[in-house]
Amino acid sequence: MMGTAQPGTGQETAETIFTRHRARVFAVAYRLLGTVSDAEDVVQETWLRWSGVDAQDIRSPEAWLVTTASRLGIDHLRRLRARRETYVGPWLPEPIVEAAGAEPAPTAEERLSLADDISIALLHMLERLAPEERTAFLLHEAFDYGYDDLSAILGKSEAACRQIVSRARRRVTEERPRFEASRADHARLAAAFATALATEDPNALLASLRDDAILYSDGGGKAAAALNPIYGADRITRFFLGILKKIGAPHGIEAITINGRPGFALTAFGRLHSVVSFDLDDGRISGIYVMRNPDKLHHAAELLGIPIID
């Protein structure tokens, strides 16, 4: 049993315990809320509550911290939903990026490894779930928490938690790609799309896209972006070629990893224009997620060492 440190006892301090589990707290909060700043707010509030309890009375610090972060996340989600309903254009999660070939760092980027699937596509899909559904689904599917754990966290019976997870899984499964793509497939198609874009080759762009592909572009009313999803390979191709025409030269395309999957950063005059992530189905690109909102590009710009475009 862990407790508050006393001189010479060798027991861990509350801060040491929290530091050891902070990555998991952040991982849960980010997956629930979809932005780094909101996740960090939950992490900070969880720490404040943790620092106010006697750690030696806590049988499982990790369980206590995840439970607290989950409940705070649910409350935060409920407050955010009204704001997101009036958001200008599609709302996309904030991307967490790594430069291609970068060594993992003890930051938000590294914390993504705490669960297998945290793609922009999945987080975008989870926005359609109610807060408790999202929490139950993520904790069970991504972090392998049992129904007894969910019962304690959500304050519902195990049977009710099973129903919540089943309902959420059904909704997510209905809208996910039919074929699970490998990382190699993602890298290949992301590179093919980036090359086609760099050479402004419409035929190559069309060849990499499913006919029924969908593009979501998040400008948040602060950067030029499509206010509605764009449907179809032809319209998506024209959308990207139109962006390049507006940017003019010089522009650049840099391969990066976005939430654990290959994507790219588009630059204009040496500044970050947008971050582009992909979803695949049956060997071609089925979904494209373009982040343009400068509020959600700060962390990416800092990590890549590229200032955001004015």
In a domain, 95, yes or no: yes
Contact of 259 with 122, CB cutoff 8 Å: no
- CA–CA distances in Å: residue 253 to residues 42, 214, 296, 308: 34, 21, 19, 14
Of 154, 175, 196, at which residue does a domain stop? 175
82 and 165 part of one domain: yes
171 and 189 part of one domain: no
169 and 189 part of one domain: no
For range 108-115, the mean pLDDT = 45
263 forms beta bridges with 256
For range 227-250, the mean pLDDT = 92
Query: What DSSP character marks residue 225?
Result: -
Of 101-110, 198-207, 225-234, where does mean pLDDT reach its minimum? Answer: 101-110
Of 141, 158, 175, at which residue does a domain stop? 175
In a domain, 310, yes or no: no
107 and 131 part of one domain: yes
Q: Please report where in the chains the tokens 């962006």 appear, as a residue.
A: 243
Say how many Å lie between the first and final Cα of the chain, rounded.
53
Contact of 172 with 138, CB cutoff 8 Å: no
Q: Please report where in the chains the tokens 């590294």 appear, as a residue.
A: 110
The predicted model scores a pTM of: 0.87
Look at residue 133 and tell me whether its pLDDT is greater than 90.
Answer: yes
- Predicted confidence at residue 57, as pLDDT, reads 82
In a domain, 57, yes or no: yes
Question: Could you tell me the CATH number of the domain that includes residue 195?
Answer: 3.10.450.50
In a domain, 1, yes or no: no
144 and 52 part of one domain: yes
Q: Please report where in the chains the tokens 């006697």 appear, as a residue.
A: 54
Strand-pair category, 251-258 with 230-231 = unpaired
In a domain, 309, yes or no: no
Looking at the 3D structure of the chain, how many domains does it have? 2
In a domain, 20, yes or no: yes
For range 217-230, the mean pLDDT = 95
259 and 278 part of one domain: yes
**Phi and psi, residue 254, nearest 5°:** -115, 125
pLDDT digits (tens, 9 = 90+) for 261-301: 899 999 998 899 999 999 998 889 999 999 999 999 998 99
pLDDT digits (tens, 9 = 90+) for 26-78: 999 999 999 999 999 999 999 999 999 887 788 899 999 999 999 999 999 99
Of 125, 150, 175, at which residue does a domain stop? 175
HSE, CB side, 13 Å, CA atoms: give it for residue 219: 13
Tokens of 248: 């003019």
Look at residue 24 and tell me whether its pLDDT is greater than 60.
Answer: yes
Contact of 99 with 293, CB cutoff 8 Å: no
Question: Could you tell me the CATH number of the domain that includes residue 113?
Answer: 1.20.140
50 and 167 part of one domain: yes
Distance CA 275, CA 1 (A): 45
Map residue 258 onto helix, strand or coil: strand
Map residue 210 onto helix, strand or coil: strand
- Predicted confidence at residue 113, as pLDDT, reads 46
208 and 102 part of one domain: no
196 and 292 part of one domain: yes
In a domain, 111, yes or no: yes
Tokens of 259: 């939430």
Whether the bond between 93 and the residue before it is cis, its omega within 30 degrees of 0, is: no
253 forms beta bridges with 266
101 and 155 part of one domain: yes
188 and 65 part of one domain: no
Q: Which domain holds residue 71?
A: 14-175
128 and 19 part of one domain: yes
